Structure 1
Amino acid sequence: MACHYGNQAASRVRAARGGQAGLRLRAMAMAMAMALLLTVAGATGAQDAERPLSGYGDVIGLTDSFLHPEFWSGEQDGGAGRPAIPPTEADRILLSRDDIDAQNARMRANDPSIHNLDALPASLTRAKVKADLDALSGWPEKPLYGEDGQPISADQRASIIANAGADAIAANRPLQYGLVVHRAALRTFPTLLRVLSRPGDTDIDRFQESALFPGDAVAVLHESADGQWLFVTSERYTAWIEKRFVGVGDKATVLGYGATEHYRVVTGATVFTTFTPEEPRVSRLQLDMGVRLPALVDWPLQQPVNGQQAHASYVVQLPVRNDDGSLALVPALIARSQDTSETYLELTPRDLYTQAFKFLGERYGWGHSYDTRDCSGFVSEVYRSFGILMPRNTSAQAVSPALDRIAFSAKDGKAKRMEAVKNLQPGDLVYIPGHVMLTLGHFGGNTWMIHDTAGGSWFAPDGTRVQAHLNGVSVTPLEPMMASDTVSYIDRITNIQRMRAKTP
């Protein structure tokens, strides 16, 4: 599944009572919490300086300054001092365009989670399609519940499995290609039925895998029994997608889409095409950060696009699905007031902060639910605005051989982990089981992260463990974060991935 956020599970762990090790660690955490509050309070100085937040629902040690990207790039003081980042460091290029191209090439060549659509055979065997289907669509062993709180019935299960049409897979199927025409969910099974692990746990739909965006290319492997779903492979994921969101076209058109000299990159968290009743298929279409669209730069400004003169907008080309399911490419407008760029952004700490904070406060969406994203989607879409390709899930991101990886095992002690945390740099990705955080920097004796998280846990100064339902893109310190009464996030670090040039 998408992000498997271990932090939510941690937020629900009930406090274990007793045990000398737990008491000692709790005392240490309490001391750390008090020291953090005193450090930040001392840094503010003046009587009217910002109040550090603490207590239930508040992030320990947080002040308003920390919620601004300018603070982390050294441009804003806010009464709490500036992070120790030299002005020249904020604009240092972490990866050049050539470095990024080389890294993406390594990703495509060496990372098993990345699929080369161009290399797929022209005809797919039953064995190949069945293997891919079985790898995705295994029914969970634990009981599942509907949104009404009732268990998923045996009849519902049988109907959903039958709709996957595994018995009807052709001995050989000609491979088809398509472009996604609207943001669309990727599902474990060909159904929109939301299924939950427990009654009331409505934020986590166990059949929600991910999402694809307009312009994403897919290879069509199979079709559901009811004809409403396609089983597809994209560059980063294989899953079910609603057929109405895919336009099927020839291979050259599909794989060549976006690979044009002139293009625009979505650099806002989300932007929308201009409303148009003349062409509803591209009206108010949501485009997420990092989406790349061909730009029709030679379009005559006097010639209307879908009923509107184009001088105040950018003319882009978008895929649409015709009534017969075939692909077409049509012009559409993105207003100049929308957050887009004529090229990928330069990967610097300043721009990285700016991009990450555009998602601040966005609701957490497991597997890209709610038209938002989860922890792994958050970091991959931030980096996508720089033209960087990343695997979809935390499990693959954390171990990708294409990145500069620092790995930890159960044998690695606290000292090694703390040393690595002390040396974290802006943009470094820190992984614990099922979760990823993006490093902002060091301040007030702590390392601060921005991450898309469902939960959060730390000790308050009175010794109680605060379990906050953050449920969105949040800024938190790393050191005080707890997975349980006795295990910290730092104890659970499995990998650190850094975006920097690798020597051959």
Structure 2
Amino acid sequence: MMMRLLALFTLSMAMTVHADDAQKQVPWRSDVVGVNYAQLSPDYWLAKVNEEPAPLMTQGQIQAFNQQLIDSDPHVVDPLSFYPATLDKQKLTDLIHSISSIPSSARFYADGSELSASDFKTYTDNLALDSIQSSNPVRYGMAVTREILRTFPTHERVFNQGMDTDLDRFQETGIFPGDPVAVLHASKDNQWYLVQNYHYLAWVPQSAIALSDKDTIRSYAQAEPFVVVTGSKAYTTFVPEQPQISEIQLDMGTRLPLVKAEDLPTQLYGQNPYASYMVRLPVRDEQGKLHITSALIARSQDMHVGYLPMTSKNIITQAFKFLGERYGWGHDYNGRDCTGFVGEVYKSFGMKLPRNSGEQGHGQYGLNNRFDKQSTTEQKLAVIQRMQVGDLIYIPGHVMMYLGDDNGQPYIIHDVKGLGYLDENGQMYRGTLNGVSVTPLLPLRLSETTSYVDRIYNIKRHRWPQISPATKH
């Protein structure tokens, strides 16, 4: 069945495609199999979606989904309640080692030199293990800027032996303004905190975190009314001489409380705020403490009051806002990777997901169609043909989002490094995507003998109830 479908699939290898008269003026060249110019527009896919009478999940269901995820999944937590007031020495040491352990395989710097035992000692010394007390208070804070979360408290980049310098092996993920964190430890150089956000434990520069008490942080995180960033990125308005609130980057899914109508002034920082969203923005003072101040975001920015309704059309629209963004391993390069991409799309609806693809794919939440080594291609194709917009497809180390069907072929949008397929001569073609891309699913291959479909181990749909018996194939 797989071969029959592929035989019907036109491997469009023409290097220039013109979809209509308006597009004839747009130079376009592609080695991506089975994709034409028109398919790079969200409108092309939106036209295939029927009107939905109601959201796929209501806000009440999404919030219940999040709470059940926190209650049942070890990879998603409420950082403000997850830890006791203090951690004993063994517990804190174990937590540090759970993220900051010396890898079993070699690591290399960008100049090709291998990290030595002495190099790793520099990093492990900065863990400040000798400063851990018998009882260590847990503090709390909030991110005030987009920042990196790291394996060790260092900015130095290290790589595997293959020296793909896009994949910094000390890079874990990102953190965003307004994210609450538990602060567990400080580095020896006092430049980094070990923090737990809702789905990750790692090291972050102290300059990105403002300390406060749990009640203040929770009140901010739950405040209403609020706006959500619905563009790939938005920015606060420029304010002369106030860099802490000026042109702050806010990524998709960031939630910011609005200043209430009765508190709106007619002038702020020399500007009339009536044409802006006036938000409450977290900032860090010189002592590292949290303050909440007012900031403006122009109404021309891509924002939405409250979370977006979770509909098929909104899933497509949100996903396409990242189209062409460069792949960023662990939110590197001011971008995101495959799980960051799907995570931010769903965050714009208010939904939380585990950070890594394996945690998502193997998680019990959602409606799951699981496959094992005994599963046949026909069994997988039967599920693929029933997919709905927004379903997530998991292979080891990667996640893809189902976009829609075109002439009987399933298409996906995903944030991906490589490109591989069999050309018209049956030879393996290897190229690169290295960004958020639209591709067909069936032709994609990892090698001459292994397709993406061969490696699919789960197809997940986010619906309520959250946890349901997985369908095994």
TM-score by length of 1: 0.87
Q: Distance in 1 between matches of 2:379 and 2:22?
A: 36
CA contact (8 A) 1:33 1:461 kept: no
CA contact (8 A) 1:438 1:451 kept: yes
The more displaced of 303-312 and 178-187 is 303-312
Structure 2 residue matching 1:437: 3-state secondary structure: strand
**Residue in structure 2 matching 1:59, options 32, 35, 38:** 32
**Residue in structure 1 matching 2:110, options 147, 158, 161:** 147
Shift of 1:33: 5.7
Aligned-residue sequence identity (percent) comes to 42
Cα distance per residue 1:311-370 (max 9 Å; x no partner): 111110111111111111111110110000111111111111000000000000000001
Structure 2 residue matching 1:247: 3-state secondary structure: strand
Q: Does residue 1:243 correspond to 2:216, yes or no?
A: no
Q: Does residue 1:210 correspond to 2:173, yes or no?
A: yes
Q: Distance in 1 between matches of 2:455 and 2:206?
A: 41
Cα distance per residue 1:96-151 (max 9 Å; x no partner): 22221221121111111012222421111112211111111111122111122222
Shift of 1:46: 9.8
Structure 2 residue matching 1:424: 3-state secondary structure: coil
**Residue in structure 1 matching 2:58, options 73, 96, 100:** 96
Q: Distance in 2 between matches of 1:251 and 1:311?
A: 33
Shift of 1:161: 0.9
Shift of 1:260: 1.2
CA contact (8 A) 1:149 1:199 kept: no
Structure 1 residue matching 2:439: 3-state secondary structure: strand
Give, as a single letter, the amino acid of the residue that structure 1 aligns with 2:352: L
Q: Distance in 2 between matches of 1:93 and 1:34?
A: 37
Shift of 1:417: 1.0
Structure 1 unaligned residues grouped into runs of 5+: 1-24, 75-82
Structure 2 unaligned residues grouped into runs of 5+: 469-473
Q: Mapping of 1:2-401 within 5 angstroms?
A: 35-37=8-10, 58-74=31-47, 83=48, 85=49, 87-89=50-52, 93-117=55-79, 118-198=81-161, 200-298=163-261, 302-401=265-364
Q: Distance in 2 between matches of 1:225 and 1:40?
A: 56
Shift of 1:50: 8.7
CA contact (8 A) 2:126 2:188 kept: yes
Q: Distance in 2 between matches of 1:208 and 1:464?
A: 35
CA contact (8 A) 1:150 1:199 kept: no
CA contact (8 A) 1:57 1:469 kept: no
CA contact (8 A) 2:410 2:441 kept: yes
Give, as a single letter, the amino acid of the residue that structure 1 aligns with 2:448: D
Shift of 1:403: 1.4
Change (3 A) 1:46 1:346: closer
CA contact (8 A) 1:57 1:468 kept: no
Q: Distance in 2 between matches of 1:60 and 1:34?
A: 14
Change (3 A) 1:45 1:473: closer
Give, as a single letter, the amino acid of the residue that structure 2 aligns with 1:487: T
CA contact (8 A) 1:145 1:199 kept: no
CA contact (8 A) 1:146 1:199 kept: no
**Residue in structure 1 matching 2:402, options 412, 418, 439:** 439
CA contact (8 A) 1:438 1:450 kept: yes
Structure 1 residue matching 2:405: 3-state secondary structure: strand
Q: Distance in 1 between matches of 2:174 and 2:69?
A: 20
Cα distance per residue 1:41-74 (max 9 Å; x no partner): 9xx99998999xxxx9521110111111111121
Structure 1 residue matching 2:221: 3-state secondary structure: coil
Q: Distance in 1 between matches of 2:271 and 2:424?
A: 59
Q: Distance in 1 between matches of 2:242 and 2:270?
A: 9
CA contact (8 A) 1:230 1:240 kept: yes
Change (3 A) 1:40 1:369: closer
Q: Hey, what does 2:471 align to over in structure 1?
A: none
TM-score by length of 2: 0.92
Q: Distance in 2 between matches of 1:32 and 1:412?
A: 18
Change (3 A) 1:301 1:268: same
Q: Distance in 2 between matches of 1:38 and 1:127?
A: 58
Structure 2 residue matching 1:142: 3-state secondary structure: coil
Change (3 A) 1:300 1:483: same
Q: Distance in 2 between matches of 1:321 and 1:174?
A: 21
Give, as a single letter, the amino acid of the residue that structure 2 aligns with 1:474: S
CA contact (8 A) 1:185 1:368 kept: yes
Give, as a single letter, the amino acid of the residue that structure 2 aligns with 1:198: Q
Shift of 1:302: 4.5
Q: Distance in 1 between matches of 2:13 and 2:313?
A: 23
Q: Distance in 2 between matches of 1:111 and 1:329?
A: 32
CA contact (8 A) 1:299 1:315 kept: no
Q: Distance in 2 between matches of 1:119 and 1:480?
A: 44
Q: Mapping of 1:387-466 within 5 angstroms?
A: 387-466=350-429
Shift of 1:297: 2.7
Change (3 A) 1:281 1:363: same
Q: Hey, what does 1:479 align to over in structure 2?
A: 442
Change (3 A) 1:130 1:476: same
Cα distance per residue 1:217-263 (max 9 Å; x no partner): 11110111111110111111100000111000111111222311211
Change (3 A) 1:287 1:184: same
